[in-house]
Amino acid sequence: MDLLELRADFLRPEEAVRAGALLRNVDLPVILTVRRVQEGGTFTGDERDRIQLISRIGSAGFAFLDLEEDCEAPGLEKQVHEAGTGIIRSFYDRDGVPRDLTQRMAALARGAQEIPKAAVTPRGARDLLRLLEAFEELGPTPKVLLGMGPYGFPTRVLAPKLGSLFCYSSPPDVSAAPGHLDPGTLDEIFRYHLIGKATEVFGVIGNPVMHSLSPRIHNAGFAAVGRDAVYLPFLVDDLAAFLEVADRLGIRGLSVTIPHKEGIIPALERPDQSVRAMGACNTARRRSDGKWEGTNTDGVGFLAPLREAFGGRLPQGLGATVIGAGGGSRAVVHALSTNGARVLVLNRTVQRAQQLARELGVKAAPLDQAGIREMGGGFNDLIVQATRVGMSPEAGEDPLPGYTFTGRETVYDLVYVPETTAFLSRALGAGCRVIRGSQMLLAQACEQFLFFTGHDFPGDAKQELLRIFSRYPA
């Protein structure tokens, strides 16, 4: 941590008047804030009472006093300036990103001693783009500009690169505002204090995506090879708008997950053979000419732990059922069928399963009792769960509730949060051998890391990640 913020509006009145005493017990600069209810705070008194409270404690030696855009208190401002305290002049928008953001930010500061601050709420990639445009238009002037919520998350991690003086964080398991991380996560996973103007940006795009473990993997890899780079999650609702965001940030490489694996293909200048064969792309990198090229590491990542489970190679004539017919399923079916397995695809919308089956030369059936009976015809040596069922908001649900495990199946769930889904838990209870999604995630991420950097993923970092993932709660 570099600074602390004291939210005196959360204190009882008798505590608030003695808030200045805190400064004797900390060795960091402290921002004093007494936030009104209408700005998301808890101070319920009238404005005169609030100004009197701030005046009473504001000269105690705080580094900054945070005042709102519409706060008019010339006497207070003169008092804190004479005490050597700076003023942060702020406004909040919890509904979106105002179209006049740049103009409001430019007009906020009332003199050289004030720092303008805005916390706004992007509602999609297009809003995030507008926020990044504001950074560029405001230039190098001192400021604090942050996006709240999941779409604004990148502006917090990238604050040093974008030109924001600082970002805000909260203690572990407590979020004082939407999008806050705890200081440990900022430094341990994202290496916040090493981020600068030259730091390269990589990330994972998807919807949902904030649960992703990929930042933990890739940032550990960057740290191990000493690369000035950071990898973070981008929630993406509009792929075209996000690609403009990627241009603004100079993003060097992207992992691509649900639902954008197929949609990103038209943006690729050069998809490789794996993308053409699978009809899906899970990895893209920017070439020196600024254009994107893509590959798919899902197949390689899927097969690596499966081969390990079978002693190094897949058995001849392996009968496999794949649940789902999306981009992830396509990679799995392609990997299995090209390695000699007989494959049955089950999907709720049977037409999608049939289309996938026709394209890859496998069988298809509906995800119902008829499909389960079809599995009994030699397609249940391996059962692969390749849908989002089991992860939030469908956590706890089972994608194949009508199937009774015998204990002889190998069961592979591509979902990795939670580490043990309801589906895997039921398979474990029947005595099945199971493969978790985190094993595939790490294997395919190592291939992505090589594609991004030209370096093999460091072995020590990989082993440490495996130990971390094995401790994740069921």
Catalytic amino acids?
261
Characterize the bridge pairing of strands 319-323 and 342-347.
parallel
* Cβ pair 129, 245 in contact under 8 A: yes
Question: How would you class 422 by CB atoms within 10 Å of its CB: exposed for 0-12, middle for 13-18, buried for 19 or more?
Answer: buried
Instruction: Give the residue among 77, 61, 48 at the shortest CA–CA distance from 4.
Output: 61
Identify residue 277 by its one-letter amino acid code: A
Question: How would you class 69 by CB atoms within 10 Å of its CB: exposed for 0-12, middle for 13-18, buried for 19 or more?
Answer: middle
Give the C-alpha separation, 138 to 157, whole Å.
Answer: 19
Give the C-alpha separation, 97 to 436, whole Å.
Answer: 40
* 431 φ/ψ sector (left φ>0, alpha ψ -120 to 50, else beta): left
Give the C-alpha separation, 43 to 35, whole Å.
Answer: 6
Give the C-alpha separation, 83 to 63, whole Å.
Answer: 10
* Cβ pair 17, 53 in contact under 8 A: yes
Buried b (16+ CB within 10 A) or exposed e, 332-357: bbbbbbeeebbbbbbbbebebbbebb
Instruction: Give the residue among 19, 21, 25, 15 at the shortest CA–CA distance from 6.
Output: 19
Query: Half-sphere exposure of 2 toward its Cβ, with a 13 Å CA cutoff?
Result: 9
Angle at 150 between CA 204 and CA 31, to 5 degrees: 120
Give the C-alpha separation, 286 to 452, whole Å.
Answer: 9
- How far from chain centre, in Å, is Cα 97? 20
Angle at 292 between CA 289 and CA 293, to 5 degrees: 110
